[in-house]
Structure 1
């Protein structure tokens, strides 16, 4: 495991030369790398300075993104014996350490960009471009803190890396209170909204990206420190910012849900904030999720070892599906785009063979010539985050894949999420709502998913919106944070949501799928038991605690006057 201490990662980007990734999704820089003193000389270089924040610093968070966001939440299983499925996490877990290191790297990189844009830019750089790039960095910094506070609770607020270096306080930093961290995120996003244009270059963060994130932050913050209900002012702010995105951004939902998660939609109009990955020589600029999530030998170009990574029985049940049946309901188009199950055909996977059929074919003379072993304990595999074979990428305009490299964008905030944030914020503390605007947003998401099965809802409740969020955002690294924010103000309901889930696996699937014999079919049940309030906060990595003992002390107030707020 890499021994990266949290504070070293907080300060590393100030004292080194700036490396700029050649990211094809944006304007390709003329050179691969520059030093800080010779970069920032014109508008194009300023844009290029922020390119890397869209991928490389986030790289080591990818596995934690799935394990924290979806395994803890009961949507997916990486290994039924791991601490994420069983809630036996400890601070020696490598993926927690990598997630923490990655998030602090983002923070450090953003601080470096913000400082250098102000201090190093030449007179040839326009103020509009400087504002835009600073706004992008502020949104990414806010996003890193949004993950940090929801994962670890109270964390240090690092506003100025250079000050930490000058004062030599890197090993004595204290955590700041959760409510201060949320307030800091809000200040960052408010500043970003003032700086960012309404339309930015393709794939980049704009004003409405910041508004959408701020709406979600307010919705989350609304329950913190509350009991049984949420702060009405925060709910109003959440609704207002979400409404700005819905009414003013000009963005629309992607008509076909499964298209969002294919290469052809890397820059979907629905995507407000995304990691944009590349395939090249620079390690950490690539998407490696296919390697973890797809079946062994699923691709001829990308290594994969995901035979024992699969969606849960509980998530299938939420979609009204069961691997214990050979008949698919197919009521919700999101299910097939999220979960592969027996009977599914994908025309965008294995295109040179006429598409991919998930048919549990383990015979050497079958469609896959023995290449694939269908080993999922729940009779399903992941569909999201998968590109497939080289021919599949080429069919969508991308000519490169490599061992752990795909260029598939990871959408972190989508328009559909903002629609549901708006609907939930309007619902607020009510048991249900018939508000026309909230219903319009809620039903728009449902209509795309249900197609011919769609009937408009005349009202919806809290449980309705929470289920809708689960189905819409499943396997997108988000569900755990919904449960965390529920735990803020309804801890017992959050615990029940976890303990009621089925996290086990099926026995007898081979007999069912091969011989249509269900006589041995049964669920080997696994339930998360003994869940406590402490389980809703991820433990700090041991390397951070050993080198920075101040992190074990009680959190303190943050002095906002010291940074002009």
Structure 2
């Protein structure tokens, strides 16, 4: 299956700069909306820009002709990875000062943190792109096209609403109470109102339910675009974390949407490693929705390039970059000692390079402290490098939703008292993951019994299955362990032994620049 390749006709139709309160700006260059939306064929090109906004930063290779100014100049998924992983028990950053991640690592950021701000503006840049697209995709706007063209655009419209719901879900998870804007709001000097987290939750839920029947099913969805199962998985994730966002449990609803995914014809990939290599676009049996990364057509220095190159040392005498299909390592990060401690000796998901490394991190920015992670690679199925990573980054796509995560969400919801499935069914799904993980050792050391289905076990199993996939911070918050003394890890709170921190760090603050621009906004506790 080929990776989707979009022609980005909408090159720089819409620009957002920081320090603006009106998050939807009109076009400010010669390529106007009227020109772009004059032809039905151009709508798919614009849709392509919505998808690639997650992994690119501009209209040219290496981020040239930037989409928006920012503190770091990095893409959406590099920001997302740092905000979800840096402060957790899964990752130790090397370049605390050079990459400006000290405060993320120590859970000590404020409203001026560059990564916190860049994530915020990347989110609302994509929201603005979606809103602009949707303004031009209404039934009235597209009535001049043929019936076939209108049918296509209506599907594109559903995909744009999915993408907007996805980024609003990230905003909800990171920031809680938000400025809120849709295509129905005026363009220009509009100051968005502040929505409480429960209002944002309700909007995302209603949007996903409204479009689920309009998205293509598994068999008819072009790779790199959102199928129905992506919307169902996002709803399941929303419901799993509903108590955090709205103080109301929705575990039964989580199970309902997990079951929709499970019944849609997906299956577990037999080789865990192949989910994270340069041929992972072939794993549509398990991967529900990915962000394509391509060293020729969708070059990024963030997203999976950041992870693959970042997990390889640039000082080790033992680790060889070519083993992972990269020309050189960046030495960005390693695993904190608590992550490898989760694994049984027979668990094949424990993909760590240990030679010359200590397990625990006595000095957090010392590359010899902490195992290197080997989960992600730029290798093809044949074991060859898929691209020249110095010239074009990696060829490995970023899986946003996997069937394995759906199994784990269902199992946790059952353990938390949700209806619609059983302990026996949940253990059956988990044992599919365990059988893959333990291979011929499954019967002796991997197989689970119904008594094993506890909330604590699920949290650890999520760590084993989903580490470095951008969910750990959210998981720890849901378990009330991210900021509290209920679980400490090395360097949590800035001390080697780890310590609890203020509960305000369960959310990131709205950037100070937007507080100045929008009087409707405020930060609690910052």
TM over 0.5: yes
SS in 2 for 1:272: strand
Determine which of 19, 23, 47 is the counterpart of 1:50. 47
1:258 aligns with 2:273: yes
1:211 aligns with 2:211: no
* Partner in structure 1 of residue 468 of structure 2: 475
Q: Separation in 2 of the partners of 1:45 and 1:442?
A: 44
Higher helix share: 1
Q: Separation in 2 of the partners of 1:319 and 1:211?
A: 30
* Partner in structure 1 of residue 68 of structure 2: none
Cα deviation for residue 37 of structure 1 reads 3.3
CA contact (8 A) 1:69 1:481 kept: yes
Determine which of 478, 484, 504 is the counterpart of 1:495. 484
* Partner in structure 2 of residue 538 of structure 1: 508
The CA deviation string for residues 222-277 of structure 1, in whole angstroms up to 9 with x for no partner, is: 44454xxx62xx21111011101101x11111111010000111242112222112
1:237 aligns with 2:253: yes
Q: Point out where structure 2 has 5 or more consecutive residues left out of the alignment.
A: 1-14, 57-74, 97-101, 358-364
Q: Separation in 1 of the partners of 2:433 and 2:252?
A: 21
Q: Separation in 1 of the partners of 2:19 and 2:154?
A: 29
Q: Separation in 2 of the partners of 1:43 and 1:333?
A: 49
* Partner in structure 2 of residue 311 of structure 1: 335
Cα deviation for residue 412 of structure 1 reads 1.1
CA contact (8 A) 1:135 1:192 kept: yes
* Partner in structure 1 of residue 156 of structure 2: 133
1:543-558 correspondence runs (5 A): 543-552=513-522
Q: Separation in 1 of the partners of 2:164 and 2:20?
A: 16
CA contact (8 A) 1:262 1:408 kept: yes
* Partner in structure 1 of residue 185 of structure 2: 163
1:387 aligns with 2:378: yes
Does the C-alpha gap of structure 1 residues 88 and 257 become closer, same or farther in structure 2, counting only changes over 3 Å? same
1:85 aligns with 2:105: yes
The CA deviation string for residues 368-392 of structure 1, in whole angstroms up to 9 with x for no partner, is: xxxxxx963334213244326xxx6
Determine which of 457, 468, 472 is the counterpart of 2:449. 457
Cα deviation for residue 207 of structure 1 reads 1.0
Does the C-alpha gap of structure 1 residues 38 and 525 become closer, same or farther in structure 2, counting only changes over 3 Å? closer
Q: Separation in 2 of the partners of 1:112 and 1:193?
A: 21
* RMSD after superposition: 3.4
SS in 2 for 1:463: helix
Q: Tell me which moved more, 93-102 or 182-191.
A: 93-102
Determine which of 420, 423, 438 is the counterpart of 2:408. 420
Determine which of 364, 387, 393 is the counterpart of 1:405. 393
Cα deviation for residue 451 of structure 1 reads 1.8
Does the C-alpha gap of structure 1 residues 276 and 282 become closer, same or farther in structure 2, counting only changes over 3 Å? closer
CA contact (8 A) 1:57 1:105 kept: no
Cα deviation for residue 53 of structure 1 reads 2.3
1:501-516 correspondence runs (5 A): 501-503=489-491
Determine which of 302, 312, 325 is the counterpart of 1:294. 312
Q: Separation in 2 of the partners of 1:303 and 1:5?
A: 35
Q: Separation in 2 of the partners of 1:58 and 1:129?
A: 25
Does the C-alpha gap of structure 1 residues 449 and 302 become closer, same or farther in structure 2, counting only changes over 3 Å? closer
Determine which of 84, 93, 96 is the counterpart of 1:69. 84
Does the C-alpha gap of structure 1 residues 79 and 88 become closer, same or farther in structure 2, counting only changes over 3 Å? farther
CA contact (8 A) 2:168 2:204 kept: yes
Q: Separation in 2 of the partners of 1:553 and 1:531?
A: 18
CA contact (8 A) 1:87 1:528 kept: no
Q: Name the TM-score, length of structure 2 as normaliser.
A: 0.78
1:197 aligns with 2:167: no
Does the C-alpha gap of structure 1 residues 408 and 35 become closer, same or farther in structure 2, counting only changes over 3 Å? farther
SS in 2 for 1:117: coil
CA contact (8 A) 2:137 2:153 kept: yes
Largest Rg, 1 or 2: 1
Does the C-alpha gap of structure 1 residues 340 and 55 become closer, same or farther in structure 2, counting only changes over 3 Å? farther
Q: Point out where structure 1 has 5 or more consecutive residues left out of the alignment.
A: 19-33, 321-328, 343-358, 361-373, 505-523, 556-565
Q: Separation in 2 of the partners of 1:268 and 1:100?
A: 31
Q: Separation in 2 of the partners of 1:497 and 1:176?
A: 31
Cα deviation for residue 284 of structure 1 reads 5.3
Does the C-alpha gap of structure 1 residues 65 and 554 become closer, same or farther in structure 2, counting only changes over 3 Å? closer
Q: Separation in 2 of the partners of 1:41 and 1:299?
A: 48
Q: Tell me which moved more, 175-184 or 405-414.
A: 405-414
Does the C-alpha gap of structure 1 residues 376 and 448 become closer, same or farther in structure 2, counting only changes over 3 Å? same
Cα deviation for residue 403 of structure 1 reads 4.1
SS in 1 for 2:331: helix
Q: Separation in 1 of the partners of 2:224 and 2:297?
A: 22
Cα deviation for residue 61 of structure 1 reads 2.4
The CA deviation string for residues 392-411 of structure 1, in whole angstroms up to 9 with x for no partner, is: 69966945544462231111
Does the C-alpha gap of structure 1 residues 158 and 398 become closer, same or farther in structure 2, counting only changes over 3 Å? same
Cα deviation for residue 63 of structure 1 reads 2.8
Give the number of aligned pairs: 459
Determine which of 145, 160, 178 is the counterpart of 1:123. 145
1:376 aligns with 2:367: yes
Q: Name the TM-score, length of structure 1 as normaliser.
A: 0.73
Q: Separation in 1 of the partners of 2:176 and 2:333?
A: 28
Q: Tell me which moved more, 217-226 or 299-308.
A: 299-308
1:333 aligns with 2:348: yes
Q: Separation in 2 of the partners of 1:91 and 1:493?
A: 19
CA contact (8 A) 1:156 1:174 kept: yes
Cα deviation for residue 452 of structure 1 reads 2.4
